[in-house]
A and B are shown apart, each in its own frame.
Chain A
């Protein structure tokens, strides 16, 4: 507060992930009167993770609507109001519950532009929260891999406050349905944000750390696990290129291909299941372009994610497993 004003303007903002979400939503709601916010506890409560603090007070009950516990109707109403010209952001508390909203999201919204030959679209964002944090088998899942196979549906997964902000802004401007997934463990994490308004475009991965020995792809909370592993491996002389996918559909194939062409090896990391997982898609798309390369995949074990802390930790990949997998990939 005591520093010079000129210096203050150039200094980046330091925000928690949840604050970055709120900032993006507030800016977009101010910018476009068609943007709406709806979902369970998004009103005066400010969101389950306080990620909508202040939004209700600023924009009021017409544009910020608490919904009853009714995910199918919440997603369906969002799809309908989107088709009618609005840009709703509908919030599904846990990604597990998004399964209840699949009909409107997948059968209607994702197909609306196609079936109407371009006349109608459903520009809607479903924001939902994935990941394990001690809440048990139906409150912990990462089902983004199910979603990336749906034609017409965009899927994004920020790992930093800056991307939470920039991807939310892109999502609210996208002319079709978007699933924006965050992670329970990310909300209390801080990060720097450019002071100037900006967006993070879909289909652009971020190289979080450059490296030469192996490419490590990841998204959401697993980016933090990947960076932790990469740091440890650097001490062993293994140089890891960590790529944060950010946008799962569309994927940034160019960045992925360029990295694997350079490193010649690939580890795909995700918190969800490896079977038909994001990693399988990433690897396949890369190998279609450059031919096969040594590849390992890491994800949850093929079991439900228990609230039991011992079983939960065993199920979900950690930095130690990433380190071990990369050692095997690089040293054979």
Chain B
């Protein structure tokens, strides 16, 4: 019960945070994840404090779900020194390992090889944690994924491959970018535990992520899960929308957050007043994060040569 409300709270925060960020004229170049909140939150619910998560460029939702502080993240995204990396990494490149977010590496599929290295370190240290790597359907066509699947299977690395299939690689439809029937089938070739589930169904995401994480944690080697989600915004805040208005309207009806609210309300686990209170709380947290970011200074230009070597 409490976990369900916490998960809803986490999804509402991601939506409010991204909306608050996108409303800013100076938000820069951002990749938002509206429609994909259940994937981030469901996956994060299966990870513990020993684990590390790596992602591609669509990193805000997963980082918040993992527990990166909204204030520090907002400051990072807006280039302020109060950010998790002093504002110098930004959207596709930030990290906060203390929160279990090893980092974004916004070269599509390149991050997958890095994650396998972190997993190798875990294995060599007999570390209790596992590593999860979150990537999109776009990355499922890239060679780095296949090389890493092979080595991760050969070396039985504690690595959980998670494909957030939001159906689009910028403008290219998933059907046009990957010939496999299910993207998770790719993991099966290498003998992994695999599953494809509806990424808009939070309980299904959470349950699948937990089963897969437990499998990896038990020392069975890597697993590969695919969550089919939707992308309610364009690829990036500077990319033009390629879908028609009615298509987007139909997608909005599938919103994973509203779906979870309906489920909880139908089960009598959530009232209308509490729902509104949770929405207000999320907006408030996003605004607080924005106030923190605004109060934090930009770096001094002289910092440009710091931490190069």
Q: Are the CB atoms of A117 and B88 closer together than 8 Å?
A: yes
For residue A67, CB closer than 8 A to chain B, the reply is yes
User: Which of B89, B110, B309 lies at the interface centre, i.e. has the most chain A CB atoms within 10 A of its CB?
Assistant: B309
Partner of A114, one of B115, B154, B307: B307
Q: For residue B122, which residues in chain A have a CB less than 8 angstroms away from its CB?
A: 84
Q: For residue B278, which residues in chain A have a CB less than 8 angstroms away from its CB?
A: none
Known: A62-B124, A113-B309, A117-B88. A72 touches B117 (CB 8 A): no
Partner of B95, one of A73, A104, A120: A120
Q: Are the CB atoms of A79 and B113 closer together than 8 Å?
A: yes
Partner of A104, one of B94, B110, B155, B306: B110
Cα–Cα, bound, A119→B99 (Å): 13
For residue B144, CB closer than 8 A to chain A, the reply is yes
Q: Are the CB atoms of A108 and B105 closer together than 8 Å?
A: yes
Partner of B116, one of A77, A85, A107, A117: A77
For residue A138, CB closer than 8 A to chain B, the reply is no
Would you list which residues of chain A between 51 and 106 have a CB under 8 Å from chain B?
62-63, 65, 67-68, 70, 72-73, 75-86, 88, 103-104
Q: Are the CB atoms of A73 and B85 closer together than 8 Å?
A: no
Cα–Cα, bound, A143→B115 (Å): 28
Q: Are the CB atoms of B147 and A117 closer together than 8 Å?
A: no
Interface size on B, residues (CB 8 A): 37
For residue B93, CB closer than 8 A to chain A, the reply is yes
Q: For residue B306, which residues in chain A have a CB less than 8 angstroms away from its CB?
A: 117-118
For residue A115, CB closer than 8 A to chain B, the reply is yes
Q: For residue A70, which residues in chain B have a CB less than 8 angstroms away from its CB?
A: 147, 150-151
Interface size on A, residues (CB 8 A): 39
Q: Are the CB atoms of B143 and A76 closer together than 8 Å?
A: no
User: Which of A82, A86, A119 lies at the interface centre, i.e. has the most chain B CB atoms within 10 A of its CB?
Assistant: A119
For residue A154, CB closer than 8 A to chain B, the reply is yes
Known: A85-B121, A103-B144, A116-B85. A80 touches B308 (CB 8 A): no
For residue A294, CB closer than 8 A to chain B, the reply is no
CB of B144, distance to nearest CB on chain A (Å): 5
Q: Are the CB atoms of B114 and A104 closer together than 8 Å?
A: yes
Known: A80-B120, A108-B105, A108-B114. A72 touches B147 (CB 8 A): yes
For residue A152, CB closer than 8 A to chain B, the reply is yes
Q: For residue A154, which residues in chain B have a CB less than 8 angstroms away from its CB?
A: 309
Nearest-neighbor residue (CB-CB) of A250 within chain B = B309
CB of A104, distance to nearest CB on chain B (Å): 6
For residue A317, CB closer than 8 A to chain B, the reply is no
For residue B257, CB closer than 8 A to chain A, the reply is no
Q: Are the CB atoms of B308 and A108 closer together than 8 Å?
A: no
Cα–Cα, bound, A201→B214 (Å): 46
CB of A201, distance to nearest CB on chain B (Å): 14
Q: For residue B93, which residues in chain A have a CB less than 8 angstroms away from its CB?
A: 111, 115
Partner of B144, one of A65, A72, A78, A114: A72
For residue B180, CB closer than 8 A to chain A, the reply is no
Partner of A115, one of B89, B112, B117, B121: B89
Q: Are the CB atoms of A117 and B307 closer together than 8 Å?
A: yes
For residue B86, CB closer than 8 A to chain A, the reply is yes
Contacts A/B (CB < 8 Å), 15 sampled: A36-B124, A63-B124, A72-B143, A73-B116, A76-B110, A76-B117, A77-B120, A80-B116, A80-B119, A81-B124, A84-B122, A114-B88, A115-B95, A119-B97, A152-B308
Which residues from chain A sit less than 8 Å from chain B, CB to CB? 36, 62-63, 65, 67-68, 70, 72-73, 75-86, 88, 103-104, 107-108, 111, 113-120, 151-152, 154, 176
Top-8 shortest CB links A-B:
A80-B117, A76-B113, A84-B121, A73-B147, A81-B117, A70-B147, A80-B114, A77-B117
